[in-house]
């Protein structure tokens, strides 16, 4: 999906072949980040996807930490 996103966005993990629950465990244990809401059960047509939310309570540094952590997970470096 192209375009700007505001507040809520979905990240799909199908190409990584990893469950959202696993991503969330790594995010919490290794980075102290609460992961996204697992949509796999509620919206199965979206595959292994998680809903993330960014609000005014999140600083730019928080968002950058999430991006970095997800990037490391995608590379397989922190499982």
Angle between helices 60-75 and 20-31 (to 10 degrees): 120
pLDDT digits (tens, 9 = 90+) for 22-62: 999 999 999 999 999 999 999 999 999 999 998 888 889 99
Q: Whole-angstrom Cα distance, residue 34 to residue 2?
A: 25
Q: What is the pTM of this model?
A: 0.83
Domain ranges for the chain, please list them.
8-75
Note the residue count of the chain: 79
Task: Give the pLDDT score at 55.
Answer: 82
Estimate to the nearest angstrom the gap between the alpha carbon of 74 and the chain centroid. 10
């Amino acid at each position: 999906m192209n375009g700007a996103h505001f507040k809520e966005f979905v990240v799909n993990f199908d190409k990584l072949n990893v469950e959202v629950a696993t991503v969330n465990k790594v995010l919490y244990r290794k980075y102290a980040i609460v992961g996204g809401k697992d949509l796999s059960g509620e919206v199965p047509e979206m595959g292994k996807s998680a809903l993330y939310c960014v609000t005014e309570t999140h600083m730019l540094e928080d968002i950058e930490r999430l991006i970095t952590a997800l990037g490391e997970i995608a590379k397989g470096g922190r499982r």
